[in-house]
Every structure is written in structure tokens, then in C-alpha cells.
Amino acid sequence: MRFILLGPPGAGKGTQAVRLAERFNVPHVATGDLLRFVVEWETDIGQRAKSYMDDGELVPDEIVLELLRTRLSRGDANEGFVLDGFPRNVAQADALEENLQEIGHKLDAVVSLEVPDDLIVQRLSSRWSCPTCGRTFNRPPDAGGNCPVDGMKLFQRSDDRPEVIRKRLNVFHAQTAPLIAYYEQRGMLVHVDGVGTLDEVEERIAKAMEAAKS
Ligand code: ADP
């Protein structure tokens, strides 16, 4: 199963991608995580990427494509993957298509996870993450506290400040939303309502994917 989760920041792509990866037994590949990893390790690429991320802008395609190509060439991605946060513009979608064609693979489906902007701003400004297990929790913006699983102090992502959230949403509408029409034209798109409990949304996505595959 090879599929993409497409949607605005805060639509729940990351959370659902983890669940679906487990369900379909494929790796979860998130370019945001790959980028945060190279930023944390202060590699050359990471140093270039950081300023774009802090401003809520897209990191240049060549950086993201290089990270993605390396990740997808690992053996565990051979049988499938769930892509989260990639592609984010038409150039990246074209590059992915070319890349998959070269190795004789194709995408099964592209899921468009749909959530209204107002709800997104509310969700992201109350998103707290555990530095150890990566789980995220919904708490008031000034609450914080510790991870109920690991006991670690929860943190807020530096790009989850209200002004950066707005910027990321604008970038989504300008650059990523055109991919909805792009994949619709290719007959690959499935629309899923992203408002509901985590279990409800997971079931909706899984059902839509099974239908797209058969
Ligand atoms: P979200 O979907 O909540 O914005 P991500 O973790 O997917 O979170 O992305 C965080 C940041 O990483 C983005 O704002 C952007 O700067 C960068 N990024 C992630 N994926 C890509 C990509 N495919 N192309 C360009 N930049 C990316």
C-alpha cells in the first residue's frame, strides 16, 4: 500500500499516519520529521532548513527531495509507505511520480484530510509534544505538564506560535491545496472529513483507502 496523506497543518496527518502505518504494516515517512531530525543534528542541510521552518515557509525542494529519496531507498519502504507532509507543491508531486516510475511503483491513493482553518488554529496552539515518544496531547496553550506515558516535560513546537500557524496555513492554501486538483485529475484522490474522534477519522481513512485500492 503506497499512499499520501494530504491536508493542512494540524489536520491530524501525523497522528493518523502513525495509526495507518501500523494498520497496513508500512513505514510512516514524514518529511517534517526528517527535517526536524537534521535540524537537531545541526547538519549542513539542517542549518539551511531551519530558518524556513521557523518562518513557516516551505524548505527548498532540493533539500526535501534529497531527504525523501534517501528515506524511500531504505528496504522497509519497498512494499509500501504512508507519506505525511509530502508532496507539498506540484514540483514535489512531479518528482515523486518520476521517482516511483523509475523503480516501477505507483501510488494507490491520495487522501485529502479536510478540516476547517478555525479548528486548525485552535488545535495547533494547544498541541503539546513529548520529546521522547513523540505523542501529542491537547492542552491549553499555557498548560504544558508532563507526558502521561514517559513522564517527560511536554514542549510546544517552535512553529506552533499563532503568527507562524497563520503563515503555514497560507502556504498550504497557496502551494499545497492545488495538489487536490492535481490528484483528482489523475483519479487518485479520496476526500475524508478530518473532524471527529481519532478512531472515527482513522476508520474513515482506512475505508476510503480500501475502496480506492480495490
Ligand atoms: P505541519 O504539517 O504541521 O506543518 P510538518 O512537520 O509536516 O508539520 O512540517 C513542518 C515544517 O517543515 C513546514 O512548515 C516546512 O517548513 C517543512 N516541511 C515539511 N515537509 C516539507 C516539504 N515536503 N517541503 C517543504 N518543506 C517541508
pLDDT digit string, tens, across residues 104-115: 888 999 999 999
- pLDDT (average), residues 152-179: 92
**CA-proximal residue: ligand 1, atom 16 (nearest):** 53
What residue type is assigned to position 184 of the chain? E
Q: Which atom of ligand 1 is nearest to the CA of 124?
A: 3
Torsion angle of the four alpha carbons 138, 140, 143, 146, in this order, in degrees rounded to the nearest 10: -10
Q: Does residue 75 carry a pLDDT above 80?
A: yes
Decide whether any atom of ligand 1 lies within 6 Å of the 88 Cβ. Answer: yes
> What is the predicted pLDDT for the residue at 71?
94
pTM, to two decimals: 0.88
**Helix or strand holding residue 129 (H, E):** strand 127-129
Q: Contact, 110 vs 190, CB < 8 A?
A: yes
Kindly state the cell numbers that stand for 164. 507562524
Decide whether any atom of ligand 1 lies within 6 Å of the 4 Cβ. Answer: no
Q: How far, CA to CA in Å, does 131 sit from each of 7, 15, 45, 80, 183?
A: 24, 15, 22, 27, 35
> What is the predicted pLDDT for the residue at 194?
96
What residue type is assigned to position 7 of the chain? G
Residues serving a catalytic function are 13, 88, 127, 157, 168
Kindly state the cell numbers that stand for 176. 499545497
Decide whether any atom of ligand 1 lies within 6 Å of the 53 Cβ. Answer: yes
Categorize the per-residue pLDDT at 83 as very low, low, confident or very high, splitting at 50, 70 and 90. very high
**CA-proximal residue: ligand 1, atom 18 (nearest):** 32
What whole-number distance in Å separates Cα of residue 87 and Cα of residue 95?
9
Over the stretch 113-134, which tens digit does the pLDDT of each residue have?
999 988 998 888 888 988 888 7
Categorize the per-residue pLDDT at 17 as very low, low, confident or very high, splitting at 50, 70 and 90. very high
Question: Pairing relation of β-strands 127-129 and 109-114?
Answer: unpaired
What residue type is assigned to position 124 of the chain? L
Identify any residues that bridge with 81 across adjacent strands, giving them in sequence order: 2
Categorize the per-residue pLDDT at 144 as very low, low, confident or very high, splitting at 50, 70 and 90. confident
Q: Which of 195, 172, 5, 143 is nearest to 82 (CA)?
A: 5
Decide whether any atom of ligand 1 lies within 6 Å of the 7 Cβ. Answer: no
Categorize the per-residue pLDDT at 88 as very low, low, confident or very high, splitting at 50, 70 and 90. very high
